[in-house]
Amino acid sequence: MSVGDWQPGWIGAAARPLYAALHAAPGAEVGVLMLPPLLHEQPRSRRVLVEVASRLAEAGLPCLRFDYYGTGDSGGAGDEHDFASIHADLDVALAALQAQAAVARVVVLAWRASILPACTWADAHPEVAALAGWEPVVDGAAWVAGLEAADRDERRERYAAGEAQQVDAYLMGFPTSPRWRTDFSAARLQAPKRAPLWVLTRAEGGADAQRHFALPADAPRFDDGVGIENAMFLSRKLFGVVDDFAHAARAA
């Protein structure tokens, strides 16, 4: 069943289903594989990812969105989500995009910390023409430490003193495994050996990228807390940035 101009469905094995949605653009040579942000950033950014994917498709770039196993609408539990699981999901999503959109080359657009596991993965896939990070996390250890500090602050505000001090596997309201924290804490943003690294950020610097797309000041922010009331939308000033990205991706 189609919904508007995109097609939701399932990819991967029946025992390990991943929710995915294809924004089609027939006749394209290049497609975009969109990697969602993680934890509380994922539900808050759902709308803006749909809007970006739709605009890319309108520009002639088929785009596949999906949820990692153990996250979002995909199967599995949060404590099954780590770098090994993410790499397996990327293999499935890449194959699905190539099969459904009939594209030979793919630009990977990773949101936030999703770029960290994608760096080494991209080197094993010559189909990846470029790896792009939207407000990419550069230092995994600093990111995880910041989340843990924010989690403590959230608990102090929302719960009684005893509950706030409890130690559990949840981080910003989402279950994580020790392996997940270890994997992300050990990771840093690095350019793939095979493909160029692009970044979409408010200011240059922080990443050794071959191309920089400047986000406007009113671009959605990822540091506004965990509440769904902070849902993100594609601002009008962002249209031009996404269009510039589409132009570069078509030529990748």
Which of 133, 170, 169 shows the shortest CA–CA distance to 37? 133
Distance CA 116, CA 4 (A): 32
Structure confidence by residue, pLDDT tens digits, 161-217:
555 455 568 898 899 999 999 999 999 999 999 899 999 998 765 567 999 999 988
Total domains present in the chain: 1
Which of the pair, 226 or 199, is modelled with greater confidence?
199
> Which stretches does DSSP call E strand in 161-210?
170-171, 174-175, 197-201
In a domain, 152, yes or no: no
Instruction: Output the pTM of the full model.
Output: 0.91
The CATH number of the domain holding residue 217 is 3.40.50.1820
Predicted local distance difference test score (pLDDT) of residue 164: 47
Q: How does residue 221 score in pLDDT terms, banded at 50, 70 and 90?
A: confident
**Domain range spanning residue 40?**
6-139+189-250
Structure confidence by residue, pLDDT tens digits, 84-119:
999 999 999 999 999 999 999 999 999 999 999 999
Retrieve residue 250's tokens. 């078509």
Mean pLDDT of the chain: 89
